[in-house]
Every structure is written in structure tokens, then in C-alpha cells.
Amino acid sequence: MTQNAMTSKQRVLKLFAGEAVDRVPCFSGMGNVTTEGLKNLGHKFAAIHLDAKMMAEAAATSYKLLGIECGVVPFDLCVEAEAMGCEINVYAHSEDLLYPTIKKKLIHNEAEMEITIPTDIIRRGRVPLMVEAIGLLKNQLGEDAAVGSYVLGPFTLAGQVMELNDLLKLSFKKPDKIAKLLDQCADVIIQVAREYERAGVDYLTVREMGATSDVLSPRIFKSLILPYLKKIFAEIKVPSVLHICGKTNDIVPFMVESGATAISVDQKNDVAETRAKLGPKALIFGNYDPYNVLVAGTPELVRTTMHKCLEDGVSAVWPGCDIWPTVPPENVKAMLDEIANYRRS
Amino acid sequence: MATAEKQAELLEKLKNAVIQYDEDTAKEASNEVLAVGMNANDAIFNGLVSGMVEVGKMFEAQEYFVPELLMCADALYAGLDILKPHVQQMDLGVRGSVVIGTVEGDVHDIGKNIVKMMFDVAGFQVYDLGRDVPLDKFLEEQIRTDSDLVCLSAMMTTTMTGMKKVIDDLRKKNPNIKIMIGGAPVSQDVADKYGADGYAKDATNALKDAINMIGSLKKMKDEAEAKKAK
């Protein structure tokens, strides 16, 4: 079989379906806008978060110009929280690469935890803009590359709508109160995910980085967070990925138990161990360092890192987080080349 | 003045209150310290801080995670608030003041707050700029306060790159300034490339570094006292 026996889209979809692929795909479920792409389009970074057309165009360049095998929108982590009523900051004044953040939270202290979720959540904030962007991105990429999007996990979303400090302490002191909020967050996430599915995404990633074992014990992950992840994945119809960064080796069995089609881990995960633990069939995506390797590393470092990911047994080569925009095209080339020419030793 | 036995008992009580994140007991023990006329410095360093050192070890061993760490910090502050007004000014030979903050674009401040706590305990004058701090503000505040140390925190790769600009600006104005950077994506390599003096790669390391710093302060304090006793 030749290298180009499959399109990138076929490769990705077949992988999710558990079918044989000609080689390991190299894509992502997280943001991968590049300054190379923006330069080409003449778009400003601060503008692409608020305009569906610019967002879709910027996302498409990562495949069209660089060859990363997907198109993913959005680029920031504020869509759901904004729809719930938080205010965001897009740093419109700045020429630097600053991602939108939450400027004003919904819950400022424990007393404010009783919240009502707006019934028209899918018409609020940028959810409609996202639906439009997904449609435009599909038009741009056609049958060549798969289109993905992401939602936050319930705990990470809770950390956007309330003070992280309170969320973490109350997870310990008053888990019932937090459980109620996580349930509400899960409902929001499910509604937003359904909208993205209607818009035609090929796959969805749930980003639950707030629940990494760098922050929370595996015990709390299992008792407090896993039930709501299960609730979400039970409702997602397209292929799904659960991404958690940082330390994850102790929780990978729970990540699989969540019901996600695939799991994604970052460079802190020992993937060889994870592969041994989960068996040959599990879809494990990962796990290169998107900044220190892909942006700041030499092409040689990129090659050895990709080689190690493949030797360790990843099912798809994924970055550990969003790809930082200033990625040098020659490093992406080295990455794709190493993966295309890899033969299992 | 309390007996040596009573003093040891109170130090143990303070230490355990921090370890067991028991704010009420931390307050109670601190009030007792004052009631029996014990030295407040001693109670802070050999009680509260000893407890936090233990917590750092438990964090590293993954017995404790960030929620526990935050609750332990609350217990430490509960005691510190009572004891601090009674601390005798010590001449440690270092007069530290530090500007600390999380860089623009980043709204994570837990790691920064843990490091800040350690500076508070060590008696540094802390100028906390908070989170999502515009990059120019660091230099402005350093000049305004003439601080010896600037600590920059970034939790995300996406904001870490802003630290380079801050470091360059600080160095240009003041070549001798000490700069510490920290946060999940930071590495020794990044610290070297950006020209920082020190780095803390994650909460564990930030805590360890801060504890080491306090450890050396403690040593200086002991030496100063030994000299005085002579």
C-alpha cells in the first residue's frame, strides 16, 4: 500500500472506527492555529476568535499549508463559560499572541453556587458563531481532512465559571455542592456538543485538563468527576476523545471507563506503560510536547520525539496541548516525514 | 514564660494543625502561644512552617494533592495572621522585597499564591500584582518598590513566552535584579533561554524552592542568634 492510499480524513475516521489504517495519523483535537497560516491570510490573532469566517480560514491553513491532518475550531477555552454568562477578554489591544480568557466569573464565592443555566444556552455567546465556523471549515477541507472541535470537561468548565481556589477546596470539603455544579456543567457541555454535531463535526474532544493528577487525587477523579464524564460521553454520537494533560498514568483506566472512543495524554504520561495497561486495542493519542519539541526544538529533536511516541505505541500522534502558533514549518515537515516513514522496530 | 514542655507541645499542635488543615486549631494554638508568652518567630518557623515542610513532602509523595495543599495554606495563614503582629523584627542580613504575579493572558494564580505564602512567612515584603498582569506592569512595580526579586508565573505554554519580554525589560533597566520564573510549562532550558536566575517547574518545585529559601533563612536566623548568645 502506498503512503497516499488514504486521504487524511479517511485515515482519521477509520482509526476511530477501529479499522486498519495505512499509517498512524498525525492530527489533534485541540487548537492548532499557526502564525504561518495567519500571515498567509493576513488575519490578526485577536480577531480570529470573534469571526466565523476568519476562524475557519485560520483553522484550515494548518492542514492546507502545513499538512497537520485535521481542521479544528475554536482556539480558546471560553466558549461554554461565555454562554453560561461569564465575560471574556480577547485582548483586542494586543499584538502578542494572547488567547481569550475569562475576565469575569459567574460564581465568586461559595454563597453564589446556586446558579440557573439559561434555557437558550445554544443561542448565547459564541455558540452560534462556532456552528457557522464548523460549517465553513467543512467546506474548506471537504473530503481531504477531518473537522474536529472541542468542549471542556465538567470540572475544567467549573474552573472557568468559579474561582479555581474555591473549586479545589470545596471538592474536598463539600463534594455534594461541587457535584451539583458539575452536573449542570455536564448539561451545558452536552447541549453545546449536540450543536457541534449538528454542524457536522467528524469528532469531538472533551478537554478535562483541570482534573489532572498534578492537581487532584485519582480517588477524587473517580468519585467526583468520572460520573459526569460518563454522562457526557453517553450523549456524544460522533467519535470522541478525552484529553487530560499532566500526570495521568494512574487514571488512564478511568479515562477509558468514561466511554470516550479514544484517550489523549501529554508528554508526562509514560505511554509504553499505558499501552501495556490498556492493551493493544485501546485508542491512545499523544504525546509530544507541543512547545519545547515542536516549536523550540530542532528538526532532529522533533524526529526522535515522534519516533519515541510511535515506539511507545500511540494510535495517533497528538500534541499534549494546543500547538503554539509560532511553530516552524520545517519542524512540522520533520514530524510528518518521520511518521510517514516509520517502520515498527 | 511557659515550660519547655508546654512550648514543645504548642509547636507540635501548630505543626499538626497545618498538616491536618485545621484552621480552628491553628488559631487556638497561636492564641495560646501568645497567652503563655512564647516567641512568635519560634512558633511560626518551628510550628507552622515545620508543618508546611511536612505537607510539601506529602505532596511530593502524592499523599496530598492541590486541594489539601490549599487547605493547609489556609491553616498556616490562620495562625500567621495572629502571630505576625508579634514578630520581633529580626536582622537576618537580608532585607527581601519581591514583586510577584502571573503574566498577561494567564488567569491561573494558585502556584503563584503558594510561592507568595512562603515569602509572607519568611518576612519578605511582598508586592502581589495578581493574575493576568500586563507585561509592562512588572518593571513599573519593580522600579516603584525597588524590589530585589521579581517572580513571574505562567501556567500555560501559551502565556509563558510573554515572560521573555518582561525579563529582557527588567535586565535592561537593572542588570542585578534576581528573576525567578515558574509554572507548569517552564523548564530549566526555558529559564536559561529567557535569562532567568531561577525556576520552579511546578507547584511541588515552587514549594520546594520556597522552602529551601526559608530553610536558608532559618539557618541565618540560627547563626544570628548563636552570634548574639556569644
We report the CATH number of the domain holding residue A232 as: 3.20.20.210
More confident residue, A8 or B111: A8
**Minimum distance, in Å, between the CA of residue A86 and any CA atom of chain B:** 14
What residues of chain B lie within 8 A of the CB of A322, using their CB?
157-158
Contact flag B105-A98 (C-beta cutoff 8 Å) = yes
Q: What is the pairing mode between strands B149-153 and B198-200?
A: unpaired
> Does residue A144 register a pLDDT over 50?
yes
Q: What is the pLDDT of residues A258-300, one digit of tens each?
A: 999 999 999 999 999 999 999 999 999 999 999 989 999 999 9
Residues of A with CB under 8 A from a CB of B: 89, 91, 94, 96-99, 101-102, 164-165, 168-169, 171-173, 213-217, 220, 246, 290-292, 296, 321-322, 324, 326
Could you report how far apart the first and last alpha carbons of chain B are, in Å?
23
Look at B104 and A324 and tell me if their CB atoms are within 8 Å: no
3-class secondary structure, B200: strand
**Range in A127-141, A156-170, A184-198, B204-218 the model is least confident about:** B204-218
Q: Is residue A10 part of a domain?
A: no
pLDDT of residue B56: 85
User: How far is it, in rounded angstroms, from Cα B152 to Cα B146?
Assistant: 16
Which pLDDT value is given to residue B93? Answer: 47
**Is A66 domain-assigned?**
yes
Residue A27 pLDDT greater than 60, yes or no:
yes
Question: Could you say which of A171, A246, A321 has the minimum Cβ distance to residue B67?
Answer: A171
Tell me what percent of the residues of chain A surpass a pLDDT of 90.
Answer: 94
**Predicted confidence band at A2 (pLDDT cuts at 50, 70, 90)?**
very low
Q: Does residue A284 belong to any structural domain of this protein?
A: yes
Give, in degrees to the nearest 5, the angle at Cα A150 between A58 and A296. Answer: 60
The kind and range of the H/E element at B197 are none
Instruction: Report chain B residues whose CB lies below 8 A from the CB of A104.
Output: none
Chain B residue with CA closest to A75: the answer is: B158
pLDDT at A207 over 80: yes
- Mean pLDDT within A23-48: 95
Question: Of A63-77, A227-241, B209-223, which range is least confident?
Answer: B209-223
Task: Please check the confidence at residue A191 and state whether its pLDDT lies above 80.
Answer: yes
Considering only CA atoms, which of A23, A19, A43, A21 is closest in space to residue A33?
Answer: A43
Question: Does ipTM come in above 0.85?
Answer: yes
- Determine, for residues B66 and A214 on separate chains, whether the beta-carbon distance falls below 8 Å: yes
Q: Please tell me whether the peptide bond between A74 and the residue prior to it is cis, using omega within 30 degrees of 0.
A: yes
Q: Residue B132 and residue A89: Cβ atoms within 8 Å?
A: yes
One pLDDT digit (tens) per residue for chain B, 230 residues: 678 999 999 999 999 999 999 999 999 999 999 999 999 989 998 999 889 889 988 988 999 999 999 999 999 999 999 998 888 765 444 557 889 999 998 888 888 888 888 788 777 889 999 999 999 999 999 999 988 889 999 887 778 888 999 999 999 988 878 888 888 778 888 888 898 888 876 555 655 665 565 556 556 666 767 777 76
Chain B residues with CB under 8 Å of A91 CB are 104-105
Q: Mean pLDDT score of chain A, rounded to an integer? A: 95
Question: Which grid coordinates are listed for B201?
Answer: 517547574
Q: Looking at residue B186, what is its pLDDT?
A: 82
C-alpha cell at A13: 475516521
pLDDT at A75 over 90: yes
Q: Tell whether A283 is covered by a domain.
A: yes
Of B62, B106, B187, the CB nearest to A292: B187
Nearest to B65 among A97, A216, A321 (CB): A216
pLDDT computed for residue A192 by the predictor: 98
Res B107: pLDDT: 86
> Shortest CB distance from A164 goes to which of B74, B110, B160?
B110
Residues of A in contact with B130 (CB under 8 A): none
Residue B148 backbone dihedrals phi, psi, to 5 degrees? -85, -25
- Taking the C-alpha atoms of residue B65 and residue A251, their distance in angstroms, rounded to an integer, is 14
- Chain B residues with CB under 8 Å of A290 CB are 157
Between vectors from CA B106 to CA B101 and to CA B147, what angle results, nearest 5°?
Answer: 15
Please list every residue in chain A whose beta carbon sits closer than 8 Å to the beta carbon of residue B193: 296
DSSP character at residue B49:
I
- The reply to whether A296 falls in a domain is yes
In a domain? residue A333: yes
Q: Domain for residue A19, yes or no?
A: no
For residues B206 and B174, is the Cβ–Cβ distance under 8 A? no
B202–A214: do the CB atoms touch at under 8 Å?
Answer: yes
- B212 or A221, which is more confident? A221
Of B227 and A171, the structure prediction assigns the larger pLDDT to: A171
Domain containing A89 equals 25-340
Q: Cα distance from A98 to chain B (closest Cα, Å)?
A: 5
Question: pLDDT digit string (tens) for A300-311?
Answer: 999 999 999 999
pLDDT of A213 strictly over 60? yes
The mean per-residue pLDDT over the stretch A201-211 comes to: 96
> Per-residue pLDDT for A23 more than 90?
yes
Q: Which of A98, A172, A324 sits opposite B67 (nearest CB)?
A: A172
Mean pLDDT across A318-343? 95
Instruction: Please state the domain count of chain A.
Output: 1
Q: Is residue A20 part of a domain?
A: no
Half-sphere exposure of A174 (CA within 13 A, CB side): 10
Model pLDDT, residue B83: 93
Q: Which segments of chain A does DSSP mark as H helices, in order?
A: 8-16, 35-41, 52-64, 79-84, 127-141, 154-161, 164-173, 175-199, 218-220, 226-235, 252-257, 271-278, 299-312, 329-340
pLDDT at residue A94, rounded to an integer: 83
pLDDT at A171: 95
Q: Which of chain A's residues have a Cβ under 8 Å away from the Cβ of B162?
A: 96, 98
Question: Could you tell me the three cell numbers for A128?
Answer: 452560534
Residues in contact with B126: Cβ distance below 8 Å, sequence separation at least 6, in sequence order: B97, B98, B100, B116, B119, B120
A19 burial type by CB count under 10 A (0-12 exposed, 13-18 middle, 19+ buried): exposed
Predicted local distance difference test score (pLDDT) of residue A1: 42
A23-58 burial, b at 16+ Cβ within 10 Å, e below that, comes to: bbbbbbbbbbbbebbbeeeebebbebbeebebbbbb
Would you state the pLDDT for residue B183? 84
Phi, psi for residue B53 in degrees, rounded to 5: -60, -45
Residue contact A101–B162, C-beta within 8 A: no
Domains annotated on chain B, with CATH: 4-88 (1.10.1240.10), 97-207 (3.40.50.280)
Q: Are B125 and B98 in contact (CB under 8 A)?
A: yes
